[in-house]
């Protein structure tokens, strides 16, 4: 079993523990990606044209023999085409339909395996570095912190802790990498593109407010942990900071992790 350091909120090494059995789960990038994209598909909001769009006209066709195209035209003698896709204000030829089903299903065992595999990948320094994360070579992965972490109430105290442990460089990387998105997305509520940084897994406490504004940092309780947190973009190996209690919870609930 792999041994990791347990850090205190002062940044010092308090103890050394063995990682739970779940961190021996084999790396399965295929299952991780499948589970991630199923989650993204199920979160997708259906969209489509109004079925009556372009159809709210009183139209008629005068018939053959008049030298006119067979386009529906407004009643009333104006002769202006309406309703057909090639007319002003007419319907679209093949619009997206809101009733389209985007849902995808994943077997429970596959979903559980994807979470356990992604969680085990957080202890693999090669996979973490491959995602682009920056951290000190002296730390052990995942970064395990004692339970007093959840009571940190100020953001500056969180920053000091991350600096002492040696993972704050990754938060700076996410801050420097934030940029205005190219294309139309910037007009649709997605102006900035932000790299993902540290994932903090902790029980409910003041840390959930004090750390949530750090660039690229996500904080989640262990019972809410899912593949989107552990493998953003379907790529495993996220730099993770986890408390002792959260680690114990995940080991005890390993057979029921199907979020």
Query: Tell me: the pLDDT tens digits for 60-113?
Result: 988 888 888 999 999 987 889 999 999 999 999 999 999 999 999 999 999 999
Ramachandran angles phi, psi of 73, nearest 5°:
-125, 150
Contact criterion met (CB below 8 Å) for 27 and 258: no
Q: Is the pTM of this model over 0.95?
A: no
pLDDT of 1 reads: 66
Ranges of the chain with pLDDT below 50: none
Cis peptide before 43 (omega within 30 of 0): no
- pLDDT given for residue 256 in this prediction: 76
pLDDT of 80: 92
pLDDT of amino acid 209: 96
Distances (CA, A) of 49 to 54, 60, 71, 99, 216: 10, 24, 22, 10, 35
Q: What is the reported pLDDT for 2?
A: 85
pLDDT of res. 110: 96
Q: What is the pLDDT of residue 79?
A: 86
pLDDT score for 81: 94
Per CATH, the homologous superfamily of domain 3-43+102-256 is: Ribosomal protein L4/L1 (3.40.1370.10)
The answer to whether 211 and 167 are in contact (CB under 8 A) is no
What is the predicted pLDDT for the residue at 113? 95
H or E element at residue 171: helix 168-177
pLDDT at 76: 85
Long-range CB contacts for residues 163-168, cutoff 8 Å, separation at least 24? 163/11, 164/10, 164/11, 164/12, 165/7, 165/11, 165/136, 165/139, 165/241, 166/135, 166/136, 166/138, 166/139, 167/135, 167/136, 167/139, 167/143, 167/198, 167/239, 167/241
The pLDDT of residue 197 is: 97
């Amino acid at each position: 079993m792999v041994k990791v350091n347990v850090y205190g909120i002062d940044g010092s090494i308090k103890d050394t523990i063995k990682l739970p059995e779940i961190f021996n789960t084999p790396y399965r990038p295929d299952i991780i990606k499948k589970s991630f994209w199923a989650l993204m598909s199920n979160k997708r909001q259906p969209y489509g044209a109004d079925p009556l769009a372009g159809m709210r006209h009183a139209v008629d066709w005068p018939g053959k023999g008049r030298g006119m195209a067979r386009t529906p035209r407004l009643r009333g003698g104006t002769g202006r085409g309406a309703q057909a896709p090639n007319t002003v204000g007419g319907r679209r030829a093949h619009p997206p339909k809101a009733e389209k089903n985007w849902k995808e299903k994943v077997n429970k065992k596959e979903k559980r395996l994807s979470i356990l595999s992604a969680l085990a990948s957080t202890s693999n320094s090669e996979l973490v570095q491959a995602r682009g994360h920056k951290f000190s070579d002296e730390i052990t992965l995942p970064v395990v912190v004692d339970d007093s972490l959840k009571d940190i109430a100020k953001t500056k105290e969180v920053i000091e802790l991350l600096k002492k442990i040696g993972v704050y460089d990754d938060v700076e990387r996410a801050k420097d990498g934030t940029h205005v998105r190219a294309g139309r997305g910037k007009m649709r509520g997605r102006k900035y593109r932000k790299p993902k940084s540290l994932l903090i897994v902790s029980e409910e406490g003041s840390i959930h407010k004090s750390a949530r504004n750090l660039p690229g940092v996500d904080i989640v309780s262990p019972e809410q942990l899912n593949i989107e947190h552990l493998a953003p973009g379907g790529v495993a190996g996220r730099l993770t900071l986890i408390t002792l209690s959260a680690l114990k919870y995940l080991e005890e609930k390993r057979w029921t992790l199907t979020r």
